[in-house]
Amino acid sequence: MTAIDLPLQRVLIIAPHPDDDVIANAGLMQKTRAAGGQIRVLFVTDGENNGWAQRFMERRIFLGAGDRRRWGDLRRREAEESLIRLGIPQSSAVFLGFPDRKIAAQLMSGETALQTRLAQEMDRFRPTLVVAPSRFDLHPDHVAISCFAHRAAAESAWRDALVVTYVIHGSGGSSRIQAEVHLSPCEQETKRAAIACHVSQLFLSGRRFLSYASETECFYPEETDLAVPSRAQLRAGWRRHVLAALRSTIRSFRGPQRSVR
């Protein structure tokens, strides 16, 4: 399946953090605009708990609640600028303000506030396509939000949406790909410009982030396993993600880029 075959009339993108939307979907968003479709992006968290990037960028060790709030505000502004680069109006962005790095804990404790909110947004927007994070991702927030998003799609009164998923940290498996979006050189350049708006994230991992502006975006099927992952599974995934990111950051300080995707 290619972008042409996807139902692009109303596309709802669920982004755990500001930047996941463009990293995984900037090509899809450009195809949607070109097809005359509408886009809504739900930013679940503000990415305010992104401590090491903030410490390096601001050259300080200790971060208080006010510092994190300010970082979250910065990341919201970057997300809005990034969408504008794609020609998407600010009004398409909805910031849900759930706590960064706490979503997995919410899932495990049985909290359902995020699931309810996502279902409300689906009822309101009536998407033809829902693009959600995947439980195959290594980041615990992405895994947890995948569970909440799929449950919300089942709970929503609006049932006419195709659900696809995306993986940013790790691999979704080439045999599982359901749809590919192929970007033209111009679309790749626009995606690169959109990612570059996330200055706070480029400081430590610039080359890795910009490498996401590749020729293809891959989307995976709706997920049927909605069981809550164990704490050990989430921890193991998180360790693999942190090690891969660390290796990539060290490489980017040393010399030529090699993609970690």
DSSP, collapsed to helix, strand or coil, labels residue 218 as: strand
Closest CA to 122 of 96, 143, 142, 141: 96
SS3 readout for 151-170: HHHHHCCCCCCEEEEECCCC
The nearer residue to Zn ion, 44 or 152, going by C-beta atoms, is: 44
The nearer residue to Zn ion, 134 or 188, going by C-beta atoms, is: 134
The nearer residue to Zn ion, 128 or 249, going by C-beta atoms, is: 249
Alpha helices in 15-133 (DSSP H): 20-34, 51-58, 65-85, 103-109, 113-125
Q: How far is the CB of 22 from Zn ion (least distance, A)?
A: 11
Closest CA to 80 of 124, 19, 29, 32: 19
Residues that bind Zn ion (CB under 5 A): 16-17, 20
Q: How far is the CB of 218 from Zn ion (least distance, A)?
A: 16
Q: How far is the CB of 16 from Zn ion (least distance, A)?
A: 4
Q: How far is the CB of 5 from Zn ion (least distance, A)?
A: 27
Report phi then psi at 115, rounded to 5: -60, -45
Contact call for residues 156 and 123 (beta carbons, < 8 A): yes
The nearer residue to Zn ion, 23 or 122, going by C-beta atoms, is: 23
Closest residue to Zn ion, based on beta-carbon distance: 17
